[in-house]
Amino acid sequence: MKIIERLLSVLGWLQIFISPAIIGAVTGAFIWLALRGSLGIVLGLSMGILGCFAGSVFAEKARRGKGTIEFMSRTIAHPELREKEKKK
């Protein structure tokens, strides 16, 4: 049972990590497309790395706080989101 709990915790960590990482990667891609050249590559990679760093910091903060599963549960089960589902 501990293996499944650990697997779910890792998946929760990845879910928290991936959002800032994707934002950094997309921003880096736009910078690279706009500047095209060595400066664009350096700035684009820097934004991608910054996004990965921010994602890992945010995911670790959530893990050390109350845990990734509880963090994800609170964001999914937010009362305001439930009200919007009921209106549909």
- Residue pLDDT, tens place only, 25-84: 999 999 999 998 899 999 999 999 999 999 999 999 988 988 888 888 877 776 766 666
d(CA 45, CA 54): 14
pTM of the model: 0.75
CB-based contacts of 31: which residues, under 8 Å, 6+ apart? 40, 43, 44, 47
Nearest to 57 by CA among 24, 8, 13, 9: 13
* Residues 45 and 28 sit within 8 Å (Cβ to Cβ): yes
The whole domain housing 83 covers: 2-87
Please report the pLDDT score of residue 85 as a whole number. Answer: 58
Please report the pLDDT score of residue 88 as a whole number. Answer: 59
Please report the pLDDT score of residue 80 as a whole number. Answer: 67
The total of structural domains in the chain comes to 1
Which pLDDT band holds residue 86 (cuts at 50, 70, 90)? Answer: low
Please report the pLDDT score of residue 57 as a whole number. Answer: 94
Please report the pLDDT score of residue 66 as a whole number. Answer: 86
